Structure 1
Amino acid sequence: MPDDEIDYESPLPPYRQIADVVIGEIERGELRPNRPIPSEATMIQRWGVARDTVRRAVRYLREQGYAYTVPQRGTYVADRSE
């Protein structure tokens, strides 16, 4: 299944599927440390999901240490090399 499609038959919820794709992009170096992750609008358009789903995915990325948020600035890829 392409990375930009949600598998609604999967036991993994859509927000986790999105987060897993972004994690893969981070681990492959496609998204670099201390650079912004794609915007909410970009992710909504890419996956055709609700804003809340994207926000849950971003929250999961933060909780797992893959991203951090700077108030009034945005969410960025965390530097996990340390």
Structure 2
Amino acid sequence: MTVDLDGPEPLYEQIAEVLAGRIADGTYPPRRRIPSEAAICEEFGVARPTARSAVRLLVERGLVQVVRGKGAYVVETAGEVDQADE
């Protein structure tokens, strides 16, 4: 999926959807980093605040957590945590 610069949805929401899709399909597995804000800027051709908003939206949706100084990591879902405990 590509972002639609002229579409009605804000760019950060479109980018968050792309990243969420990659999390869902396993491109970014649990407990691993998603691309940095700088990498998101480069890939999608957006400014830093747009990339930051996209990551913040993923945090609000419970898909990633930000570790200060390290980056944003995909969170483990409850099902994956249960499997690890067995």
Tell me if TM exceeds 0.5.
Answer: yes
Gaps of 5+ in 1: none
Q: What residue number does 1:9 align with?
A: 6
Determine helix, strand or coil for the equivalent of 1:9. Answer: coil
Determine helix, strand or coil for the equivalent of 2:32. Answer: coil
Q: What residue number does 1:31 align with?
A: 28
Residue type of the alignment partner of 1:24: G
- 1:58 corresponds to which of 55, 58, 76: 55
- Pairwise CA RMSD of aligned residues? 1.2
Query: C-alpha displacement at 1:11, in angstroms?
Result: 1.5
> Which runs of structure 1 show a deviation greater than 3 angstroms over 4 or more consecutive aligned residues?
none
Q: Computing the radius of gyration over CA atoms, which structure comes out larger, 1 or 2? A: 2
Query: C-alpha displacement at 1:73, in angstroms?
Result: 1.7
Residue type of the alignment partner of 2:72: T
Determine helix, strand or coil for the equivalent of 1:68. Answer: strand
Q: What residue number does 2:41 align with?
A: 44
Which one has a larger percent helix, Structure 1 or Structure 2? 2
Gaps of 5+ in 2: 80-86
- Report % sequence identity: 43
Residue type of the alignment partner of 2:61: Q
Aligned residues: 79
